[in-house]
Structure formats: structure tokens, C-alpha cells
């Protein structure tokens, strides 16, 4: 199993490595650090890169990879790869489905860094991946620090159908990583209807807890939590998260099969989360 990690000479590259290393310590995955360089395909454009320029860019990319590999903690296996593509997004997508290396289990990146520590800020790279990737994408918040491993998985579940694939994979990963699983429901309605919706969310979560408990060993306890507030952000911020846990969220129902599409709801949740998030493709 391998994770593709987008790396560049900025803090978001470091954040991505720190998250990938934390996940790899739980899963045993190897890391493929990928530095994407501009395409060197010949063109007839008057400003087309020449051979000397391409060689300089490639040398710079190798320097990035050397720096990135030096940041990978001991005990985590990682390799560096240069890839030419028309965009960083396309380079990471191509790397994730490389026919020689096989399909990656995750693409891991840091997010745009002009946000306060512990929060997400979607730049163009993250935004593009979250609307196109065929494999799950893991996002690190700003200035994320590495941990000895993931200590809990929190899976966002809703009342409407469509989250079965996400739920099944959360259960699978909790079992493989031998960590507790928490099922999270969010109720963002006014006070007049909050009690009714909270009760429905709790009943739904209880059913899912029973299903997950039957599928997991006793060392992986399953719990549920309901966050509520006037907005999704309020509901998320009212919950407690461990620094070493991750949150799993599913793609929008608008997504094409086996593709990501970060919907409006997931975007709001992400902006309030203080911990890493994995967005799972539909189907």
C-alpha cells in the first residue's frame, strides 16, 4: 500500500509529510513523495522552455525531494519521484494511478497556508483535487505536527442514505489500524426543531454503532456523538477532537461514481475542523 504525497518548498509540503507519516505509522503504507514540474513537451510558443531551463527546473525539483525525504520520520519508508505534468493537480492524479506502481490508497497534501494554525484554507491545488480525484484525499491543517499514529477515527454520518461506502471504509480502517471509531452527526437547525432532529440523529447513530461494533474487535470501541448549533460550524466547534485523530467525510451526492466532489456541507465542516480530514470518493 502506498500514499502519494504532494511536496513543494512551502509549509504545506511539510504539513503533508507530517500527516502522511502519521497515517503510515498506523497503516504500514509507504510514501511516494511527488514533486511536480512543468511539462517539458516541445511547443512552438516563443517562450517555450529550452533544454537548459528544463535541466535547471529538474535539479530544483530533486532538491525539493531531498529536503522532503529528510523530513520523513524514522521508521516510515519513503521514496521521491519527479513527475512532469501540465499542472500540479494533474501530476498528483497521474501518480495516484500509476500503472507500474499501482493505485495509491491516498493522496496526501497540506492545505493553503494563509490561515491560522490548526485550520484549513483551500488553495487551488486542494480545491482541484477535491473535485477530481478517483482516490481518497487526506488534508492536513496548517502547521500540523506528526504523531506516533492515528488514535481515533471520527466518521461523519448523516440521516440521508448515501454514506454507506464511507461508513464501511471507516469501519474497515478502524479495524486495520486498531483504533476506536466515533460516528459524528451534526444538527444545524434552530432551537425550535433542535430537540427533534437531535433525537433522530441519536437513533440513527445508535443503529450504526451496533453495526460497527459487530464488525470490529473489542479493542476498537465504537461510540457516537451529536454536535448541534445554529450552523454547521457551530456544531463542529462544540465537539472535542484529539490532535492525533482524523475525520472522514464523504463526497457530495453530486459526485460522479468513483470521483470526489466536495459539497457545500463538507466545505463548511472542514473550515471548522481542527484536525486532519480524509474525503472519500463516491462509490
Helix, strand or coil, per DSSP, at residue 269 = helix
> What strands lie across the sheet with 152-156, from one edge to the other?
78-85, 30-38, 2-6, 106-110, 137-140, 277-280, 245-250, 152-156, 181-188, 222-229
Q: Grid coordinates in use for 18?
A: 507530517
In terms of domains, do 187 and 275 share one?
yes
In terms of domains, do 162 and 127 share one?
no
In terms of domains, do 119 and 204 share one?
no
In terms of domains, do 244 and 166 share one?
yes
User: 86, 110, 140 — which closes off a domain?
Assistant: 140
In terms of domains, do 160 and 127 share one?
no
Q: Distance between CA atoms of 220 and 34, rounded to whole angstroms? A: 33
Q: Does residue 277 contact residue 249 with C-beta atoms inside 8 Å? A: yes
In terms of domains, do 133 and 193 share one?
no
Say what the pTM is: 0.89
In terms of domains, do 204 and 269 share one?
yes
- Quick one: pLDDT at residue 202? 86
Q: Does residue 25 contact residue 76 with C-beta atoms inside 8 Å? A: yes
Task: Name the residue range of residue 209's domain.
Answer: 152-280
- Quick one: pLDDT at residue 129? 85
Domains identified in the chain, total number = 2
- Quick one: pLDDT at residue 256? 46
Q: Distance between CA atoms of 15 and 33, rounded to whole angstroms? A: 13
Q: Distance between CA atoms of 104 and 87, rounded to whole angstroms? A: 19
- Quick one: pLDDT at residue 138? 95
Q: What is the CATH number of the domain that holds 115?
A: 3.40.50.620
Query: Which of 244-275 are b and which e, b meaning 16 or more Cβ less than 10 Å from the residue's Cβ?
Result: bbbbbbbbbeebeeebbbbbebbbbbbebbbb
User: 114, 140, 166 — which closes off a domain?
Assistant: 140
Where does residue 254 fall: left (phi above 0), alpha (psi -120 to 50 degrees), or beta otherwise? alpha
Going by C-beta distance under 8 Å and a sequence separation of 6 or more, which residues neighbour residue 146?
Answer: 18, 19, 21, 22, 73
In terms of domains, do 38 and 127 share one?
yes
Select from 183, 174, 249 the least CA-distant residue to 219: 174
Question: How confident is the chain (283 residues) per 10-residue block, as mean pLDDT?
Answer: 92 93 97 88 52 74 91 95 91 92 94 65 77 89 93 87 81 97 86 77 89 95 91 90 94 50 72 91 74
In terms of domains, do 30 and 88 share one?
yes
In terms of domains, do 86 and 183 share one?
no
User: 140, 168, 190 — which closes off a domain?
Assistant: 140
In terms of domains, do 272 and 183 share one?
yes
**Complete DSSP assignment for 35-76:** EEEE-------TT---HHHHHHHHHHHHHHHHHHHHTSPTT-
Amino acid at each position: 500500500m502506498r500514499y502519494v504525497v504532494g511536496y513543494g518548498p512551502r509549509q504545506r509540503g511539510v504539513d503533508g509529510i507530517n500527516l502522511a507519516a502519521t497515517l503510515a505509522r498506523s497503516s504500514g503504507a509507504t510514501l511516494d513523495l511527488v514533486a511536480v514540474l512543468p511539462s517539458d513537451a516541445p511547443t512552438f510558443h516563443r517562450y517555450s522552455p529550452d533544454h537548459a531551463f528544463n535541466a535547471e527546473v529538474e535539479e530544483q525539483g530533486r532538491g525539493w525531494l531531498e529536503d522532503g525525504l529528510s523530513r520523513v520520520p524514522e521508521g516510515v519508508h519513503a521514496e521521491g519521484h519527479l513527475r512532469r505534468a501540465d499542472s500540479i493537480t494533474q501530476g498528483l492524479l497521474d501518480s495516484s494511478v500509476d500503472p507500474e506502481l499501482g493505485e495509491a490508497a491516498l493522496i496526501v497534501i497540506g492545505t493553503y497556508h494563509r490561515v491560522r494554525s490548526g485550520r484549513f484554507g483551500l488553495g487551488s491545488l486542494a480545491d482541484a483535487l477535491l473535485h477530481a480525484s478517483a482516490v481518497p484525499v487526506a488534508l492536513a491543517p496548517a502547521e500540523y505536527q506528526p504523531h506516533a499514529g492515528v488514535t481515533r477515527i471520527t466518521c461523519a454520518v448523516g440521516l440521508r442514505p448515501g454514506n454507506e461506502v464511507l461508513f464501511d471504509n471507516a469501519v474497515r480502517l478502524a479495524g486495520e489500524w486498531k483504533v476506536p471509531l466515533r460516528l459524528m452527526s451534526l444538527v444545524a437547525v434552530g432551537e425550535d426543531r433542535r430537540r427533534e432532529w437531535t433525537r433522530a440523529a441519536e437513533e440513527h447513530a445508535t443503529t450504526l454503532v451496533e453495526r460497527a461494533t459487530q464488525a470490529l474487535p473489542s479493542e476498537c470501541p465504537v461510540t457516537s456523538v451529536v454536535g448541534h448549533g445554529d450552523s454547521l460550524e457551530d456544531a463542529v466547534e462544540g465537539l472535542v477532537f484529539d490532535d492525533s485523530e482524523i475525520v472522514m467525510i464523504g463526497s457530495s451526492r453530486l459526485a460522479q461514481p468513483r470521483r470526489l466532489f466536495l459539497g457545500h456541507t463538507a466545505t463548511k465542516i472542514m473550515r471548522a475542523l481542527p484536525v486532519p480530514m480524509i474525503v472519500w470518493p463516491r462509490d
